[in-house]
Amino acid sequence: MKYLKQFTIILGICLLGELVRFLLPLPIPASVYGLVFMLLALMCGAVKLEQVETVADFLIGIMSPMFIPAAVALMNQLEALRAILLPFLVINFVGLLTTFAVTGRVTQFLLKREKEGKK
């Protein structure tokens, strides 16, 4: 029953993200709205981490296999992608490097702030 309750909370927040995406004409995916709503709910205490932690850990654990269908679809469309392969690869590479750099900087900042807070 605990797992069902946790999954229902996560699903409800995802549904709220879908509803906001439907109502607002912005080019933002519903999943981004859902992530922001989950962050806000956790930060303000409306949802406690213990209320979603077990199911969230499970969903994160199975995230990798969820990309297999998308990868297979890309492989099936290789001929269509061949014309734009170089820009596609460059954009992905630049995006990857940007993600690594921003993640590293944010992590350094948070670790430094945490260390200063303990002093």
Query: What is the pLDDT at residue 105?
Result: 97
State the average pLDDT for the chain: 93
Note the pTM of the prediction, 2 decimals: 0.66
Q: Do residues 36 and 26 touch, judged by C-beta distance below 8 A?
A: no
Query: What is the pLDDT at residue 31?
Result: 93
The residues near 49 (Cβ < 8 Å, ≥ 6 apart) are: 42
Query: What is the pLDDT at residue 85?
Result: 86
The residues near 38 (Cβ < 8 Å, ≥ 6 apart) are: 10, 13, 47, 52
pLDDT tens sequence across 43-92: 999 999 999 999 999 999 999 999 899 889 888 888 888 888 899 899 99
